[in-house]
Amino acid sequence: MSDQNRYWFPTRSYGWGWGLPDVWQGWVVYGAFVVLVAAAAVRFPPSSDHDAFTVAFLALVALLVVICCIKGEPPRWRWGGK
């Protein structure tokens, strides 16, 4: 597979979803997600502004899932080697 068509996020061996990234771009996405969640926790402290933090966190998770759908292998239920 050429580098241009290579998936950033391979599917998991068991279950549904994506595993750890195969390329550096995927690691950058995961790193940005962690940094943005930390920034949301600073901006909206969960102990005092729980609702705003929850909305921000869910928006970031939705964005991560969209990126994984676009740049990852099509997810399907997998049973390992079967």
Question: Residue 58: its pLDDT value, please?
Answer: 98
Domains of the chain: total: 1
Q: What is the 3-state secondary structure (H, E, C) of the chain?
A: CCCCCCCCECECCEECCECCCCCHHHHHHHHHHHHHHHHHHHHCCCCCCHHHHHHHHHHHHHHHHHHHHHHECCCCCEECCC
Answer yes or no: is 37 within a domain: yes
Answer yes or no: is 58 within a domain: yes
Answer yes or no: is 9 within a domain: no
Distance CA 65, CA 42 (A): 23
CA 4 to chain centre: 20
Answer yes or no: is 3 within a domain: no
Answer yes or no: is 28 within a domain: yes
Answer yes or no: is 5 within a domain: no
Answer yes or no: is 1 within a domain: no
Each residue's pLDDT tens digit, 27-62: 999 999 999 999 999 999 999 989 999 999 999 999
